[in-house]
A and B are shown apart, each in its own frame.
Chain A
Amino acid sequence: MRKLLLTSASLGVLAMASTGTALGCDPDYTGVELTATTQTGPYIASALQLAAKGWEEKTCGKVKVVEFPWSELYPKIVTSLTSGEDAFDVIAFAPAWAPDFTDFLSEMPADMQKGADWEDIAPVYREQLMVWNGKILSQTMDGDAHTYSYRIDLFENADNQKAFKDKYGYDLAPPKTWKQYLDIAEYFNQPTNNLWGTAEAFRRGGQQFWFLFSHVAGYTSHPDNPGGMFFDPDTMDAQVNNPGWVRGLEEYIRASKLAPPNALNFSFGEVNAAFAGGQVAESIGWGDTGVIGADPKQSKVAGSVGSASLPGSDEIWNYKTKKWDKFDHVVQTSFMAFGGWQAAVPASSTKQEAAWNYIQYLSSPAVSGQAAITGGTGVNPYRISHTTNLDLWSKIFSEREAKEYLGAQKDAVTAKNIALDMRLPGYFSYTEVLEIELSKALAGEVTPQQALDSVAEQWNKLTDEFGRDKQLAAYRASMGLPQK
């Protein structure tokens, strides 16, 4: 009998081996090797690698992560996509490149677009950033929205509270409006105490324009006119020099004067260093600021890191009526700066099913949640569950810090008025023009209006050069608007 059982079992194993199935592989991708590509690590690449390890154990497949320097990544992907070669099964890319990639991507399988895990993805990603002309072509694997960080110890100091109220006539608290943000920066700008008001990125090539966009979004992202922040979505005329933009730029320049000396050379890395180094009372930026600020190994202000949503405005420029619209409340506008890395499967891949399965695993609540709290992965919250699991975040934050941080992250991606980042073919051409004029305005060589007039003129020229109709179609798709 024992012999019979052993023989039967052996035959069973042999039969399974001969058909390629293996025990414990679910689903079984034995013999399947995926090639995934992204920028040189650790950011994002390490998230792909961490997930690859778990996926390999689960499915018996293999994932080879190929990394390219940031400047090389776009041409590597675009040339492989346009040539139709089967070079990559998974691509992880910056959302701004989506307009150039979407024609060559496969659609997300229908079964991934339902269920609790799907609903858990913040709506702005699920319904807008992952969608192109009604099709879901990518999966967000990192959430990127700007939020506000502040020093709890300074804000709750009784002397500061009294002195601030005496000077400005209202309580010292996380700002609701951009004017309050500047008041706070002005109050805390005390160079003699080695303390400055705020820190933002002002350096050309150092993510500066996303910080400007955050200011501008509050004045130009009109709830009734979605998609009108950068261009008129009917004509593709640049909106970059309208009064809302000018006010945003004026305040951005004002913030630079209330920042540490040499802040004009700050990229986001220096913003984090200034905040974690206790040099500034507040700052705006991505979620990394809070995580770095809370880490006692990297920060002098650990335990005092407060977070909130970006400030807003009760006046928003209406590009259609060309007037300021006054609201009876402050409209809190969230800006999806950069928009978060996307993972997608090229239509040319011969292993699409396995590739999407890997992406599903990579972005699952458990795996992505772990990545979000692991320093160096570059993954910020993009699922509702990322922002509600206090236990997960208590490893790096105090309870209050965690509550505020997660609250700010959640509000950023679920706000009623969300401004999407610019995603257009020729993105770098547009942003380079802006960066140069911004730097001139920051240096005081030109006025904000002159700088933005010049940007508008050059943006319109670029739009004509690239094809206005083509750019208009891409812009509308990127803003989630139906094609005309």
Chain B
Amino acid sequence: MTTRNDPIKHFFIWPALIIVLVISIFPLIYSLTTSFMSMRLVPPMPARFVGFGNYADLLQNPRFWHVTGTTTLIAFISVGLQYVIGLSVALALNSRVPGEGIFRVSFLLPMLVAPVAAALIARQVLNPTMGPLNELMSALGFPNLPFLTQTSWALGSIIAVEVWQWTPFVILMLLAGLQTLPDDVYEAAALENATPWQQFRDITFPMLLPISVAVVFIRLIESYKIIDTVFVMTGGGPGISTETLTLFAYQEGFKKFNLGYTSALSFLFLIVITVIGLVYLAILKPYLEKHK
């Protein structure tokens, strides 16, 4: 019989620990080290230590703040819409509205499409001369709309694709949450003559809050990483008006091979996401505690 102090445990634990360290920690440390260096592959230049130089350059670069703002705008608006639409649909599905069976089968489809493919479809749909949307507009006597070439329309189009693609995920999670809510609470509320709105406000929403917080958190982080949709639909244009943080990092890293700068950008990106996550959780903590 083995005991807690049996040295054999080291034989099993240490290899796994070392593998985890090598795979996850080493790249992070290497990347962090690179972020303090001036390191360019193109044109090849000898690496040199610049301390916080890359970080200072980035923080003084108006483009960094612009892409941070754009990413934040896309993330917050699209996740907000995903949550509102997702919750409404999940409530409808949970109430077994007519046609709910067909919807359950089909609503997951957008989520299963690769973002690049979704963006390509959107680009075709929004095509001004061959796209069905503008053809319909023309048939109804409206002018062609600059969906992908004017900043506000382009941002709206990207947000629309994000909402179309990821709302099913929100529905799925919230529906699962709704189905775990106990029936007896609703029965008690019904006995007290609580209206459906009161039931939603005082029972459903508060009890769904923990899963809502988690879903929004996951989607927010994922939305901050958006690149493929933007890359395909607008390429970050016009100008840099729809460029996001990851697309900016891609341009610096894979087109200009400015590795030190890109590493610093990645860490700043990590900091931005961490700060947003912490603020988000701090704001919601009292509500979560209250409805525990």
Contact = CB atoms under 8 A, between A and B. Distances in A.
A291 B240 CA distance: 34
Contact of B251 (A78, A100, A274, A432): A432
B41 interface: yes
B42 A205 contact: no
Contact of B128 (A78, A260, A427, A443): A260
B107 interface: no
Contacts of B237: 203-205, 264-265, 439
Interface string A420-450: 0000011111001000100110110100000
B156 to A, nearest CB: 15
A257 to B, nearest CB: 12
A262 B238 contact: no
B66 to A, nearest CB: 11
Contact of A436 (B234, B240, B257): B240
Contacts of B45: 466
Nearest to B45: A466
A260 B42 contact: no
Interface in A171-220: 194, 203-206
For the complex of A and B, 6 pairs with smallest distance between CB atoms: A425-B43, A262-B128, A261-B128, A264-B149, A204-B237, A205-B235
A425 B149 contact: no
27 contacts: A71-B254, A74-B42, A74-B257, A78-B41, A78-B44, A79-B41, A82-B44, A100-B43, A194-B129, A203-B235, A204-B236, A204-B237, A261-B129, A261-B144, A261-B146, A262-B127, A262-B129, A264-B146, A265-B148, A265-B149, A265-B237, A426-B43, A426-B256, A427-B42, A432-B256, A439-B238, A443-B149
A426 B149 CA distance: 29
Interface string B25-69: 000000000000000111111000000000000000000000000
A443 B238 contact: yes
Given A100-B43, A426-B43, A432-B255, A440 B239 contact: yes
Interface string B221-247: 000000000000011111111000000
Nearest to B231: A205
Interface in B180-211: none
B285 to A, nearest CB: 41
Interface in A436-468: 436, 439-440, 442-443, 445, 466
Interface residues of A, number: 36
Q: For chain A, what secondary structure do more than half of its interface residues adopt (helix, strand, loop), or is it mixed?
A: helix
Contacts of B144: 261-262
A29 to B, nearest CB: 33
A279 interface: yes
Contacts of A78: 41-42, 44
Given A265-B148, A443-B239, A75 B41 contact: yes
Contacts of B234: 265
A440 B151 CA distance: 11
A303 interface: no
Q: Which of A99, A205, A470 has the most CB of B within 10 A?
A: A205
Interface in A287-302: none
A87 to B, nearest CB: 16
Interface range on chain B (Cβ under 8 Å from partner): 20 to 34
A235 B255 CA distance: 27
B147 interface: yes
A458 to B, nearest CB: 11
A445 B129 contact: no
B251 A206 contact: no
A39 B217 CA distance: 39
A75 B149 CA distance: 32
Interface in A260-276: 260-265, 274
B42 A428 contact: yes
A314 B238 CA distance: 33
Interface in B111-159: 123, 127-130, 134, 144, 146-151
B126 to A, nearest CB: 8
Contacts of A205: 235-237
A263 B127 CA distance: 10
Given A75-B257, A428-B255, A439-B239, A260 B44 contact: no
Contacts of A440: 238-239
A332 B147 CA distance: 38
Interface string B246-262: 00000100111110000
Nearest to A471: B43
Contacts of B41: 75, 78-79
Contacts of A261: 128-129, 134, 144, 146
A260 B148 CA distance: 13
A436 B130 CA distance: 27
A264 B130 CA distance: 15
Q: Which of A263, A265, A428 has the most CB of B within 10 A?
A: A265
B239 A429 contact: no
Nearest to B150: A443
A203 B43 CA distance: 26
Given A261-B144, A264-B149, A436-B240, A71 B255 contact: yes
A206 B258 CA distance: 21
Given A425-B44, A429-B258, 10 more contacts: A74-B257, A264-B146, A264-B237, A265-B234, A428-B42, A436-B240, A439-B238, A439-B239, A442-B238, A445-B239
A316 B133 CA distance: 45
A262 B146 contact: yes
A100 B150 CA distance: 37
A440 B236 CA distance: 12
Contacts of B258: 429
A440 B240 CA distance: 8
B287 to A, nearest CB: 42
A439 B239 CA distance: 4
A274 B127 CA distance: 12
B234 to A, nearest CB: 7
A428 B127 CA distance: 29
A71 B127 CA distance: 27
Contacts of A206: 235
A439 B235 CA distance: 11
A100 B42 contact: yes
A439 B134 CA distance: 23
Nearest to A445: B239
